[in-house]
Amino acid sequence: GMLGLSLLRNPVLHFILFSVHVIGYSIADTALVSLISRYASESGQGRSLALNQASQSIARVVSPLIAGYLYTNSKIIVGDKLPHGALPYVLGSLMPLLGICTPFVLFLKSVQRKKSGMHQRK
């Protein structure tokens, strides 16, 4: 996705691939809202959906500021290791890893809590 876009220099191909990215994001965002609605308690649905919207809004404000700084200073930060302006795309492609790791860590903690709760009952 984003990592490949950072290395492209053909504007037409860049536009096509970024369009695919936008379509994929739209589908994923709709699925995320559906999952939040499905797995939140009835009394907590509004709060969960509001937190989702708020975090997305904050990201839409903060991300361009960070990306602009990284784009402008990419030669200073990484030198000639990447093409000019590629740094925000490279870091943006790594962000989903954080999104994957966070629920995984929370899942592991919940499993540990359940196991420790089972041991305490015995």
The pLDDT-based confidence of 43 (bands split at 50, 70, 90) is very high
Mean pLDDT along residues 40-55: 92
Burial-class residue 89 by CB neighbours within 10 Å (0-12, 13-18, 19+). buried
Q: Does residue 118 have a pLDDT over 70?
A: no
* Average pLDDT of the residues of the chain: 85
3-state helix, strand, coil in the chain (%, to 5): 85, 0, 15
- How far does Cα 115 stand from its chain's mean position? 30
Mean pLDDT along residues 29-40: 88
Q: Does residue 55 have a pLDDT over 80?
A: yes
Q: What is the pLDDT of residues 78-91, one digit of tens each?
A: 888 888 888 888 88
Distance CA 50, CA 44 (A): 10
Tokens encoding 12: 């037409």
